[in-house]
Amino acid sequence: MTGPRLLVADGPQAGEARRHLIAGLRALRTQTKASSIHATFLQEPDSDALEAEGFLSRADQQFHWFNEGYETFDDFLGALSSRKRKTIRRERRDAIGTEISIDRITGAAITEAHWDAFFAFYMDTGSRKWGRPYLNRRFFSIIGQRMADRVLLVMAKRGGRYVAGAINFIGDTRLYGRNWGCIEDHPFLHFEVCYYQAIEFAIERGLTRVEAGAQGEHKLARGYRPVMTASAHDIADPSLRRAIADYLDHERAYVAEVADELQSATPFKHAAEED
């Protein structure tokens, strides 16, 4: 998630403090013979400071849902065009059908049985993708012990057992969607578990935003909007740095162009649009 990376208090000395921290990062890189430094999901003051000190800036995008003061999910649907509103209602109905129920579980209600089920979903997703899962089963028990009140599990059940689920982390003002998985395929269930249930939870809790991560233009049709993110990179090898700098110049232009196009593809009603 986006946040402070150079931990400096606001004030007249903030700029100088950031420069000292950046110099320290480079000294540590030299001392450890590291190839690079990477600072991701930056807020503007840190991004500007790192770029001013010669870091390469990168622009990317995620998809976020914004709570515009909605009191119910239907309030949110009311902000969408009629066609998109009907599509979402149909998807939610078809995802659950007559066989599937949805549980939203947080805090002390999360048990080891829930983690067992979710870990199976997580491993199944990892096995379908390039690479391999990087979280072990104990990780989920630890977060359940130490921060259960910050965890939201959305679990889909059919025939008395869980068949799909998603994990979210609850911030002070935002909900952060992370991993999803399933052991049965059902049409539209991914959208229900990952996106629509997250929106409902955020509205009920009065959260201002749901961060659904990168990738997936399909999120646009579900009410999520493209949001630009920033990162900064310091590359030790001069030749590699030049190659990366050239790539990032081209990528920034492409990302900005795509973001403009995606903004126009959101399902929200235009000012003059009538239902």
Check whether domain 68-207 has CATH 3.40.630.30, yes or no: yes
| Length of the chain as a residue count | 275
Residue 140's pLDDT band (cuts 50, 70, 90): very high
Q: Work out the average pLDDT over 107-120.
A: 97
Task: Tell me the average pLDDT of the chain.
Answer: 92
pLDDT (0 to 100) of residue 270: 64
Domain boundaries, the chain: 14-63+229-263, 68-207
In this predicted model, what pLDDT tens digit does every residue of 171-224 receive, in sequence order?
999 999 989 999 999 999 999 999 999 999 999 999 999 998 777 778 888 999
Q: Could you write out the three-class secondary structure of 12-51?
A: CCHHHHHHHHHHHHHHHHHHHCCCEEEECCECHHHHHHHH
In sequence order, what are the residues at sequence separation of 6 or more whose Cβ sits closer than 8 angstroms to the Cβ of residue 48?
none
What type of residue is 135?
L
In this predicted model, what pLDDT tens digit does every residue of 150-162 receive, in sequence order?
999 999 999 999 9
Share of the chain above pLDDT 70, in %: 96
In this predicted model, what pLDDT tens digit does every residue of 33-58 receive, in sequence order?
999 999 999 999 999 999 999 999 99
In sequence order, what are the residues at sequence separation of 6 or more whose Cβ sits closer than 8 angstroms to the Cβ of residue 32?
none
Q: Which residues of 181-220 are buried (b: 16+ CB within 10 A; e: fewer)?
A: bbeeebebbbbbbbbbbbbbbbbeeebbbbbbbeeeeebb
pLDDT (0 to 100) of residue 266: 78
Residue 260's pLDDT band (cuts 50, 70, 90): confident
Q: Note whether 175 and 206 are within 8 A (CB).
A: no
264 is written with which tokens? 């126009």
What is the four-CA torsion angle of 8, 11, 16, 18, rounded to 10 degrees? 20
Q: Is 177 helix (H, G, I), strand (E, B) or coil?
A: strand
